[in-house]
A and B are shown apart, each in its own frame.
Chain A
Amino acid sequence: MQANPVIVKELRGRMRGWRAAVILAVYLAILSIVTWLLYYSISGFNRGYTNAQQAAQTGKFLFYGLVIFQTIMVALLTPAFTAGSITSEREQKTYDLLMTTLLPARSVIFGKLGSALAYVVLLILAVAPLESMAFIFGGVAPEEIVLSQVTMLVAALLFASVGIFWSSILRSTLASNVLTYGTIIFEMLLVPFLFFTITSIMGAYSYSQSGQNISSTELYSYIMQIVLSLNPLVAMGWSAGLYSNGDSLFIYTSHTIVNGKSLLVVSPWLIFCIEALLISALLIFISIRRVRPVHYHSQTVTLQPQRGPQQELVISVEQPTAQPTQLTLETPPMPPPAPRPYNPPSD
């Protein structure tokens, strides 16, 4: 079992010298400042920590503040590692070299994806000491920590896949970056916005004569869960909110969301993870197909009969299967030559 050569190569390049360490240091410095600001803002409210509940609030605030900020950083950084991964091979003219090796297309894609994710995972794990400061105050359950980290990792996979996808489809790194960030902005901001505007236009939140409107139907509830959970921040916050109300972090039946009806509720973070994994798988699949230079479509194998030893001289055409265009000097009989200047073929 050999290591994927693409991962080895990408990590060698990425981790060389000071660059990787500097990015990590700057990233941690920013998050440290954020933690410090969060702490001072919350301690302004809860001066003196008079009771355990206030301390727990501080802990929760710190933890979720950090997680939200970290998720935003992941959303901003991950595409940068993958949006140029295939286009840069094309732009640097290394793509053909890569494609004539024995590396299958999936090794190229998984290598690019793996090396980008390895670095993002490093960034996520490096923040653990900052997040653990929340434990001093209490108020954060182990389940919340696990689900937030899992959601963040899945989000990183989704963002990386979006970058790989556009990179394999498009020719230029610039276009790939634009569309990758565009896709992520669409997914994070525009989808919730569109959901609420469209449902508003449909009258979901206005009072109706019958006392019934769209927002109190089961269908609306399911669609809302599926659509809004596309945003990892919404999904995490929503799950944390439900959890603090005493609901499960996984799957449960609720009687309170739609009056009087029992409703299956999947905790939003879980919905996000399922959606993100499905979308990522689809994007990666398309990327692998796009990276292959040639899709030989022949379904049958055509086999030429073996030939005898080739003639030494292949100038003239004397093969029995006469093919009119084969190996002939298609020069018209020449007029007596005047010395003719040689014009080199122009480019």
Chain B
Amino acid sequence: MEAAMTQPIGQPASQIKGPQAVVQTERLTRRYGNFTALDNLNLTVEKGAIYGFIGPNGAGKTTTMRILATLLEPTSGEAWVAGYPVTEAPYEVRRRIGYMPDFFGVYDNMKVWEYLDFFAAAYRVPQSRRKGMIDDLLALVDLGVKKESFVEELSRGMKQRLCLARTLVHEPELLILDEPASGLDPHARIELRELLKELRSLGKTILVSSHILSELAEMCTHVAIIERGHLLVSGSVSDILHAMQPAREIYIKLLDRAPQAAALLQAMPGVLSVNILPAGHKPGEMAQAPSQRQQAAPTGTASIPPAIPPPPGFTPQPTAPASGPATLHLRVNGDDAALGAMLSQLAQQGIPVFGFEEAVGDLEDIFLRTTRGLVQ
């Protein structure tokens, strides 16, 4: 922190205001002896995000979260939560976070409402407000009927939801959830996902980790992929998808007149290539099609590559049917409006379109590509 200003001792914690983002880390490093669990991690979580923190076990996810939760001291580097540095103002940070560890216990011999009441008291929630708040929280996590049950009698999914309710007793800005979906059955996982979306709509920022990408793929707005303490890629899901896969892949199913349609589309702006495939082709079978993915492979940085100029000329493939049902495969560099224009163009020409879909790349793809060569 040679560039940092050094303030005299005794600066009131309330005046220490760091970055604007809800979570910001700068060159955050943690070593355990010779082992470096976190290596110069720079992370930014903006307000209102559901931020997926993805990486294999031992990548440093839990270490990062424990530092942010003021349970672990960084070896070097800085971390801020809601503008407060975790090492200087841990109480201010604790006031603003709800932390759920990957392994958490519940107390024996304690009822559900007592559990929440205890933590509310521990967060200095006045007694007069606790009762109503506990009822609200139990309703939110759908445990209202279990209010008088003993905590140890709950199922794992219920305990998970109770612990989530526990993280909310002091109305934190940020939820830090370490592997919340691990050990849950698919049904409980879906419930959890819905719950997180609901919490996001209540204005919470959520930092959630997993080593299983599909757990997070559908609910996150942002992701960071971490591997051996290094941040490999981070940003919003759509931006990352776009960066990794600059061309959108569109499949158009036609009843007839495929060559005309192909020629028509080829002339439209933003269309990079058009292929005519036999009817009944499924998007997943595109392995043989010239793949943009190879060219878009990251080389060094993840900055968005410039749009690739459309290849000159269009030649229908010899195997393509001249008439009858067919599927067009397009690679398009354009927004949703451009896609709409294509569809209406086809309709105006009376071309019988009965299917129009985009093959959406997913996070699994990104994960595999970014961690390639590093995971093993």
Contact = CB atoms under 8 A, between A and B. Distances in A.
Interface in A287-340: 293-296, 298-307, 309-310, 312-317, 321, 323, 325-334, 336-337, 339-340
A97 B230 contact: no
B87 A298 contact: yes
A99 interface: yes
A47 interface: no
Interface string B31-52: 0000000011010101000000
Contacts of B85: 301-302
Given A313-B236, A327-B231, A5 B118 contact: yes
Given A94-B104, A315-B239, A13 B110 contact: yes
Q: How large is the interface on A (under 10, 10 to 19, 20 to 34, 35 or more residues)?
A: 35 or more
Contacts of A314: 44, 234-235
B122 interface: yes
Contacts of A6: 122
Contacts of A97: 99, 101, 104-105, 119, 163, 166
Contacts of B57: 345-347
A92 B300 contact: no
Contact of B373 (A327, A331, A344): A331
A303 B5 contact: yes
A305 B109 CA distance: 49
B372 A331 contact: yes
Interface in B78-99: 78, 80, 85, 87-88, 90-91, 94-95, 97, 99
A309 B105 CA distance: 39
Contact of A12 (B69, B110, B127): B110
A21 interface: no
Contacts of B211: 345
A150 B104 CA distance: 41
Given A302-B1, A303-B18, A310 B109 contact: no
Contacts of B87: 296, 298
B121 A301 contact: no
B304 A304 contact: no
Contacts of B301: 316-317, 328-329
B359 interface: no
B308 interface: no
B281 interface: no
A245 interface: no
Contacts of B374: 330-331
A294 B72 contact: yes
Contacts of B234: 314-315, 327
Nearest to B150: A16
Interface stretch (B9-17, B184-192, B200-208): B9-17
A325 B232 CA distance: 9
A313 B239 contact: yes
B145 interface: no
B107 interface: yes
Contact of A102 (B5, B95, B236, B299): B95
Nearest to A93: B105
Contact of A315 (B46, B97, B101, B304): B304
Interface in A1-37: 2-3, 5-6, 8-9, 12-13, 16
A301 B6 contact: yes
A304 B105 contact: no
A103 interface: yes
A126 interface: no
Contacts of B6: 300-303
A94 B234 CA distance: 32
Given A13-B108, A302-B6, A316 B302 contact: yes
Contacts of B19: 304, 306-307, 310
A110 B297 CA distance: 59
Interface of B: 1, 3-9, 11, 16-21, 26-27, 39-40, 42, 44, 46, 55-57, 59, 66, 69-73, 78, 80, 85, 87-88, 90-91, 94-95, 97, 99, 101, 103-110, 114, 118-119, 121-124, 126-127, 163, 166, 170, 211-212, 230-236, 239-240, 243, 287, 293-294, 297-304, 364, 368-370, 372-376
Q: Which 10 A-B pairs have the closest CB atoms?
A: A345-B56, A5-B121, A93-B105, A92-B105, A101-B122, A316-B303, A315-B235, A302-B4, A301-B7, A329-B298
